């Protein structure tokens, strides 16, 4: 009888130790999982912050400036938004007039909303949506064209959604000015003298 009682107590002690060990392991696993989730969330936030400006500046960018004249701005607009040179001197004069009257944003808006830009980028826009499993309500075609013309690339998804929301709340002019004041566009602007020289060699008008 004493042996049975001893064995029962021994078994109970061993069982309680096993249960305790499992509980400690479970707590440690929960802590590790929680840390991993926090790390993943932190990384996502960092990526979002890189693609979305903290405080957007919607004032008209100072273009043209001493390093780039009106003629070059129009040439670059044609090459960036429409992927071609201006067809004649008259259209260049027309767009220089728009630039002088409506500033950088007005010129950008004119190209972004043009039927030619809408048609030119249509196929690539829909390929972009399909590739990223998103739809036109998330990133508008006008925002896509703005990225192509101003930053010479497709939108990243987070940035494209951000600027589409800005467009819906305001208009495409606000978007053009905002992207035009972005750090990425400023980096492009530093290379404008080279772009202007290449455009002058490429385009007769």
> What are the structural domain ranges in the chain?
70-202
CB neighbourhood size of 13 (10 A): 10
pLDDT for 56 equals: 87
CA distance 173 to 147: 13
Architecture in CATH for domain 70-202: Orthogonal Bundle (1.10)
Q: Which pLDDT tens digit goes with each residue over 122-152?
A: 999 999 999 999 999 999 999 999 999 999 9
Main-chain dihedrals φ then ψ at residue 83, nearest 5 degrees: 60, 35
Q: Is the pLDDT assigned to residue 156 strictly greater than 90? A: yes
Q: Which pLDDT tens digit goes with each residue over 39-64?
A: 444 444 444 444 577 788 999 999 99
């Amino acid at each position: 009888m004493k042996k049975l009682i001893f064995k029962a107590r021994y078994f109970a002690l061993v069982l309680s130790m096993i249960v305790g060990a499992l509980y400690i392991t479970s707590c440690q696993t929960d802590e590790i999982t929680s840390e991993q989730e926090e790390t993943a969330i932190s990384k996502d936030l960092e990526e979002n912050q890189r693609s979305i400006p903290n405080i957007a500046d919607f004032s008209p960018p100072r273009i043209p400036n001493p390093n780039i004249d009106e003629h070059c701005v129009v040439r670059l607009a044609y090459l960036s938004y429409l992927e071609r040179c201006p067809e004649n001197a008259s259209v260049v004069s027309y767009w220089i007039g728009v630039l002088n009257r409506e500033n950088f944003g007005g010129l950008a808006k004119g190209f972004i909303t043009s039927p030619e830009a809408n048609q030119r980028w249509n196929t690539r826009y829909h390929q972009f949506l399909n590739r990223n499993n998103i739809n036109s309500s998330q990133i508008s075609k006008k925002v896509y064209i703005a990225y192509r013309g101003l930053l010479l690339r497709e939108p990243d998804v987070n940035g494209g959604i951000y600027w589409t929301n800005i467009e819906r709340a305001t208009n495409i002019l606000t978007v053009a000015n905002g992207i035009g004041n972005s750090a990425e566009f400023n980096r492009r602007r530093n290379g404008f003298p080279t772009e202007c020289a290449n455009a002058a060699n490429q385009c007769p008008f």
